[in-house]
Amino acid sequence: MSKLNCQIFLSGNGSNLKNIIQKVDSGFLQNIHIHTVITDNPGAEGLRYAHERNISTKIISDVYGYEDISLDIKKYNIDLIVLAGFMKILPKYFVEHHDGKIINLHPSLLPKHRGLDTHKRVIQSGDSLHGASVHFVTEKLDEGPVFIQGVIEVKESDTVSSLKKSVHNIEYQILPIAMRWFSEQLIEKNGKYFNFRGVLEKEPIRYL
């Protein structure tokens, strides 16, 4: 089986990239090839994980924009674009052009708490459950079909930082599972929903 060729987009720490690299090494993601890491932030800490592994990196700028990324996606046969802590909104034409190929990791149980500061909003809302979602990217922020979620229970003693840690831990499980599903051709976008093993699904698969 040929490997799934991936680009990873990030803006900050890149702990999810680090985790994906570990999962490639451990064999869990043996059919994943990380072709490029792309960032909007030249100072992104996460770039060091790419540099350590000689994974090529690109910085989005006036000289390397989304049209250039699209050309590279075609040139290098990129199969999957993973937004793992990428804090910019992608242009509409880019999302439309690569429909079904872009997935985003979001730190909440979508459709709850789209956008920023999800942990704070979970505490303010008194939610009893929290977690992370992976969804197909569409032109509306955090709105495309969600196909996998990891769920955690919120305790009374939880703070923004404890939730952030627990959600990261669940992200380290669900994002590699999502990517593995792509590498095994188990999942595809189907309009507002998704197919899993060829069957139309309307609700995300949840891990507790």
Q: Enumerate binding residues for ligand GRF (CB under 6 A).
A: 10, 12-16, 46, 84-85, 105-107, 132, 167-168, 171
For the chain, the straight-line distance linking the first and the last C-alpha, in angstroms and rounded, comes to 31
Least distance from C-beta 11 to ligand GRF, angstroms? 7
Smallest distance from ligand GRF to CB 76, Å = 23
HSE, CB side, 13 Å, CA atoms: give it for residue 19. 17
Residue number with CB closer to ligand GRF (135 or 189): 135
Report residue 89 as tokens. 């909104």
**3 state SS of 9:** strand
Q: Which of 106, 113, 119, 130 is catalytic?
A: 106
What is the C-alpha to C-alpha distance for residues 74 and 79, in angstroms, rounded to an integer? 9
Q: Which is nearer to ligand GRF, 87 or 205 (by Cβ)?
A: 87
Radius of gyration of the chain (CA): 16
Q: Which is nearer to ligand GRF, 10 or 95 (CB)?
A: 10
Using CB atoms within 10 A of its CB, is residue 116 exposed (0-12), middle (13-18) or buried (19+)?
exposed
Is 106 a known active-site residue? yes
- Nearer residue to ligand GRF within complex by CB, 67 or 117: 117
- As a whole number of angstroms, the distance between CA 183 and CA 4 comes to 5
Closest separation in Å from C-beta 200 to ligand GRF? 26
By beta-carbon proximity to ligand GRF, the closer residue of 117 and 184 is 117
| Least distance in angstroms from the C-beta of 164 to ligand GRF | 7
* Shortest distance (Å) from residue 208 CB to ligand GRF: 18
Peptide bond into 111 cis (omega under 30): yes
H or E segment to which residue 55 belongs: none
Q: Is 162 helix (H, G, I), strand (E, B) or coil?
A: helix
Please identify the residue of the shown chain whose CB is closest to the bound ligand GRF.
85
CA–CA gap between residue 42 and residue 54 (Å, rounded):
17
Catalytically active residues are: 106
